[in-house]
Structure 1
Amino acid sequence: MITVVGSYNLDMTFKLNHFPIPGETVFAQEVRVGHGGKGSNQAVSASRLGARARFVGAVGNDANGKNAINFLSSEGVDTSCVRVKNAHTGSAYILLNGGGETMIVVNRGANYELTPEDLDGCLEGKVLLTQLEIREDVVKRALSGFSGIRILNPAPAELNDVEILNYVDILTPNEVEFQEISNSDDMSYGAQILLKRVKRAVIVTLGENGAIIYTKSKSVRIPTIKVNPVDTTGAGDVFNAALAVFLERDYDLETAVEKANIIASYSVTTYGALGPTWKEIKEKYPEIPLP
């Protein structure tokens, strides 16, 4: 089982011709409302890839919270550890330009009400996946209390308690997050600084350029397929979910990253933050050997 500790947000996506500059008003070409939040995205994406996935998080005692639990259940995600708080369900406001790029503002709402005590009895499985859209003390409790493979997707990259990294096996920042956490523009140097705390590997995701795996002894660039992106929202979540799925299935790290790259690349060819199913991937890329 894959346990995902993280956030649920109601996503509101505004499709624009271009991002506004300060002081500019632009009109939305289209508005979409859907399910999001990095934790929820990752749990659902893992479930769609055939994993048993549990989501540990918090929603509000409002209609959006009820809809969130129903949605997660409909996707086959275990919701027994979703806590209902006396707060509004979290929300995210996503600006999407014509090139598929995004700008995102998050109102954490009930996500910030999740406590370390809420994790009691929930930290089971072979792989733990967590992020930084919830409180750091909750993230630390999740990582320190889990006995399997521990993946931290450091997004957003606001990490005040660096001791959290001592409990991480695999760290998965994108380029911007990597620079913010490592305090270095030199990727090789910064990775080695992080690996003084991170146990196994730092994987820097590079979008269309694939990813680089850094360990204490070497670095390996893993390419990906070329696609025409229409919406990059959630691509990192899909990558992390797929990585967790392949590691749970005992693939070596390089193969897991290679396949996660392919699935994340496919995900940006459609709208929305959630990952594809095996059927969708095989129909689109029958030549790619995926289980």
Structure 2
Amino acid sequence: MITVVGSYNVDMTFRVERFPVVGETVFAQEIRVGHGGKGSNQAVSCARLGASVKFVAAIGNDVNGANALRFFREEKIDVSCVKVKNTFTGVAYILLNDKGEVMIVVNRGANNELFPEDIDDCLKGDVLLTQLEIREDVVKKALSNFHGLRILNPAPAELKDVSILNYVDILTPNEVEFKELSNSDDMIYAADVLLKRVRQAVIVTMGEKGSVIFTRNKSVRIPTIRVDPVDTTGAGDVFNAALAVYLEKGYDLESAVEKANIIASISVTTYGALGPRKEEIEEKFSDISLD
């Protein structure tokens, strides 16, 4: 089982021709409302790839929260540790331009009211996947109390308590987060800095350039397939979900990253932050093996 500890947000996506500059107003060409939040995206994407998933999160006691619970159950996710708080459900405001690039502002809402005591008796399974859209003390408790493989997707990269990294087996920043966490533009030096704390590996996701795996012994670049991106929202979440799924299946790290790269690339060919279902990938990309 994969346990995901993280956030749920309602995603409000505004498609624009281009991003505004400071002080400028632009018109939205389209507005979409859907399910999001890094934790939810990852939990749902894991489930869509066939994994057994428990989601540990907080939602508000509003319509959005009720819709979220219904959605999780439809995706066959264990919601026994989804807490309903006396506040509003988190909301993410997403600007999406015609190049498939995104800018995101998050109002945490109930996500900021998930407390360490809320996750007692919820930390079971083979793989833990968590992020930084929830309180750091919750992330730290989850990582330090979980007896299995622990993956931290450090997004957003505003880590105040760096001791959290001591409990991480695999760290998965993108290029921007990698630089922010290490305070360096030199990838080799930055990896060395982070691996003084992270136990096994740092995997830097680089979009169409694939990923680089850093361990104490070596570094290796894992390429991905070329696609025409439509919407890059949630690509990192899909990568992390697929990584967790294939590591739980027993794949070695390089093979799991290869699969995760491919699935994340496929995810950006359609709109939305959620990953594709395994059967959808196999139907559209018959030449790609996911086994």
TM category, shorter: over 0.9
Deviates more, 1:212-221 or 1:275-284: 275-284
Aligned twin of 1:13:
13
Aligned to 1:66: 66
Letter in 2 for 1:195: L
Q: How does 1:125-274 map to 2 (within 5 A)?
A: 125-274=125-274
In structure 2, distance between residues paired with 1:280 and 1:186: 39
Residue 22 (structure 1) aligns with: 22
Which residue in 1 is equivalent to 2:44?
44
Task: Determine the C-alpha separation between the residues in 2 that align with 1:134 and 1:23.
Answer: 31
For structure 1, the residue ranges without an aligned partner over 5 or more in a row are none
Match of 1:166, as an amino acid? N
Q: TM-score, normalised by structure 2?
A: 1.00
Separation in structure 1 between the aligned mates of residue 73 and residue 283 of structure 2, nearest angstrom: 26
Q: Which amino acid aligns with 2:180?
A: E
Question: In the alignment, what sits opposite 2:82?
Answer: 82
Identity %: 74
Gaps of 5+ in 2: none
User: Counterpart of 1:57 in 2: which secondary structure?
Assistant: strand
Give how far 1:153 is off: 0.1
What is the alpha-carbon distance in structure 2 between the residues aligned to residue 21 and residue 109 of structure 1?
27
TM-score (norm 1): 1.00
| Aligned equivalents of 1:206, 1:280: Cα separation in 2 | 24
State whether structure 2 residue 85 is matched by structure 1 residue 91. no
Q: Which amino acid aligns with 1:44?
A: V
Once the two structures are TM-superposed, the CA of residue 290 in structure 1 deviates from its matched residue by: 1.2
* Residue 289 (structure 1) shift: 1.6
Aligned to 2:55: 55
| Residues in 2 aligned to 1:284 and 1:103: alpha-carbon distance in whole angstroms | 29
Find the aligned partners of 1:290 and 1:46 in 2 and give their Cα distance: 14
Aligned residue pair count: 291
Q: Distance in 1 between matches of 2:270 and 2:256?
A: 22
State the shift of 1:209 in Å: 0.1
Query: 2: distance between equivalents of 1:22 and 1:139?
Result: 34
- What is the distance in 1 between the residues matched to 2:158 and 2:72? 27
Deviation digits for residues 20-65 of structure 1, max 9, x if unmatched? 0011111000000000000000000000000001110000011111
Root-mean-square deviation (CA, aligned residues, Å) is 0.4
Q: Which amino acid aligns with 2:26?
A: V
What amino acid does structure 1 have at the position aligned with 2:131?
Answer: Q
